[in-house]
Structure 1
Amino acid sequence: MSATGSEIRDQLLKGVLPWWLENGVDRENGGVFTCFSNAGRLLSNEKYTWSQGRWAWLCSRIAFDSGDGIIAENPQLWAALSIETARFIQEHAILDGSVTAYRTSAEGQALPSGPQGEIAVSVLADLFAAWAWRVQPGFPKRLAANVTSGSNQPMRFSPTPKKESRPEGSVRALPRPRRIQGRGRADAAPECGRPTPFGLRLC
């Protein structure tokens, strides 16, 4: 038996999101803890950058949809969580030399992850850090001079689509990012770059 839209919405708003707010959010350092067992026990407080970037984007999406009245959540709360997580990535995971730490301690210390002690070992960390960067624009000062888009052309994003009509109680699927095309350029989710009332830019 498949779940209805209202059942999925109830599970999200009454089960999934409250659990993560209570157990996952690092209110001291910013970001989110993700290393839980299936029983919900925290196994490690290390932070994997790709998970942090995904959380930053997810929180921004919840804030956006809450502000639009699509789901009944506090948009200011989720906007703040998104920005705090994006700042954590910018301040701790983006390193000198334009590389991204694969994982950090809870406080943000970059941790060796490769067989030879390498810190930057995965393009996924770079990808999700870039998504978080779209949430909280602006380069750290020490990187501003040497981080470029990789070409002479600016990164381009798709325009905002028209709103679609949906039956009451239905759940809108999140936009799927498009394939990267060309070096230094990317086509992102349909609403990427759209400003929200909270200073966020979705990507």
Structure 2
Amino acid sequence: MKELINQYKNGLLEDVIPFWSRYSLDKVHGGYLTSLDRKGNVFDTDKYAWPIGRQIWTYSKLYNEVEKKPEWLAIAQSGAEFLVENGMDEDGKFYFSFDQQGNSLKKPSNIYSDCFAALGFSQYYKASRNAKYRTLAREVYDRIEKRWSNPKHIFNKETGIRPMMGMGKLMLDANMALEMEGVLDNDTIISLKSNSIRKLLTHHYDEKVELFFENVAPDGSHPDTVDGRLIVPGHAVESMWMIMDLAAQTNDIKTIQKATDITIKMLSYSWDDQFGGIYYFMDWKNKPMQWKLDWDQKLWWVHNEALIALLKAFHHTRRADVWSWFKKVHTYTWKYFPDPEFGEWYGYLNRRGEVLLDLKGSFKGCYHLPRSLYECWKTLEKIAHDNDKS
């Protein structure tokens, strides 16, 4: 167990974070240059709100939970100040992208830039204790809630003939319930928690076919269409570990067990028995993935989220099947994704596990991987602690 703990801890603190600290900080214009090639060279100086908000969160989290390193706080501050100065339009909606100097390039076209800004500001407030960022996080959250019924606004292309609900908002609600305590009021946190757990486990998980669907109709059914049949294993397991964390707050063992069961069922369904690894997208009825030509690729974040879910599930349940799955996913992940020559991890592999793109940045960013390494490290420590007590 000690060797595993050190593998994740050192992977985070001696490999991944030094890579991003060394190469991503824009010391002239602020914020982060996230389009990094394999060696850390910048191949595009445009900046994007999603990765910036996520990297603010990452460095603030490290400062809050690992060590009060001034360097980490300064890096988080650089991203936070960049978004405050350049990120929003006159209505407070976040732009999608910017040039290096901070001039907006693409208008606000969806709500996810706002979501990650709120999460980043919330964690940065806890690190800096600057009340301005607590206020900002709350204001951004309030605007998000007002916009959710039509998050794309004038950019919405749907006619309303076949209404569908994606699971993205529910997973972000669960994430915000975990991350924004002390920023949002208690009633809001309780509502986010209960609503996200209930709908993710009842609307998006189909008990009959034992699968988690990305999109459902308002009544929870999944139409026999490309969107209605879509399975995204990474989102399924990511939402399950968040549910486990929320349920653990009240010692809700039944919900933890259900989230564990769904995690195992989804991994059993989506594991590539021939080449190993977890498929990116799947069709419930195995029909052609006409809009998802990358369906059989193996992506870093899917495996990162699976590792978190499996370790948290094992910590709570001590089930042998969960540990067996963790070992399987752990072995595949550490064999194919890390780059031993230039550091950090590859993000995109083909079905056979061969590197498709050797870049380290772009929308891969500094988020899923460091979060996974951190969560796995800390959960393994909890498991080891429980072992010592027994």
TM-score normalised by structure 2 residue count? 0.34
Name the aligned partner's letter for residue 93 of structure 1.
Answer: G
Q: CA deviation at 1:66?
A: 2.8
Distance 1:190 1:94, change over 3 A: closer
Q: CA deviation at 1:191?
A: 6.6
CA distance in 2, matches of 1:103, 1:121: 10
Tell me what 1:128 maps to: 116
**CA contact 1:178–1:188 (8 Å) conserved in 2:** no
Q: CA deviation at 1:105?
A: 1.2
Deviations 1:38-87 (A, max 9, x none): 443321111110100000010100101233xxxxxx52221121122111
Q: CA deviation at 1:25?
A: 1.0
CA distance in 2, matches of 1:49, 1:64: 22
Q: CA deviation at 1:178?
A: 5.5
Distance 1:57 1:18, change over 3 A: same
Name the aligned partner's letter for residue 50 of structure 2.
Answer: W
Match of 1:100, SS state, is coil
Q: CA deviation at 1:147?
A: 7.2
Distance 1:22 1:179, change over 3 A: closer
2:78 pairs with one of 67, 81, 84? 84
**CA contact 2:53–2:116 (8 Å) conserved in 1:** yes
**CA contact 1:94–1:101 (8 Å) conserved in 2:** yes
Runs of 4+ aligned structure 1 residues displaced above 6 Å come to: none
Deviations 1:101-134 (A, max 9, x none): 101111111003xxxxxx1112111111212332
Tell me what 1:193 maps to: 182
Tell me what 1:66 maps to: 66
Match of 1:193, SS state, is coil
Tell me what 1:103 maps to: 97
CA distance in 1, matches of 2:178, 2:119: 10
CA distance in 2, matches of 1:147, 1:40: 32
- Percent identity between the two aligned chains: 22
Name the aligned partner's letter for residue 94 of structure 1.
Answer: M
**CA contact 2:115–2:141 (8 Å) conserved in 1:** no
Distance 1:179 1:16, change over 3 A: closer
Tell me what 2:142 maps to: 149
CA distance in 1, matches of 2:65, 2:100: 29
**CA contact 1:60–1:82 (8 Å) conserved in 2:** yes
Match of 1:107, SS state, is coil
Tell me what 2:7 maps to: 7
**CA contact 2:87–2:95 (8 Å) conserved in 1:** yes
Tell me what 1:23 maps to: 23
CA distance in 1, matches of 2:40, 2:74: 24
Bigger Rg, which one: 2
CA distance in 2, matches of 1:125, 1:190: 16
Distance 1:193 1:30, change over 3 A: farther
CA distance in 2, matches of 1:14, 1:89: 28
Q: CA deviation at 1:4?
A: 1.2
Matches within 5 A, 1:160-199: 179-180=172-173, 187-189=176-178, 192-193=181-182
**CA contact 2:118–2:140 (8 Å) conserved in 1:** no
Tell me what 2:69 maps to: 75
CA distance in 2, matches of 1:190, 1:110: 28
Distance 1:92 1:6, change over 3 A: same
Distance 1:63 1:147, change over 3 A: closer
Match of 1:108, SS state, is coil
Name the aligned partner's letter for residue 41 of structure 2.
Answer: R
**CA contact 1:93–1:100 (8 Å) conserved in 2:** yes
CA distance in 2, matches of 1:20, 1:179: 25
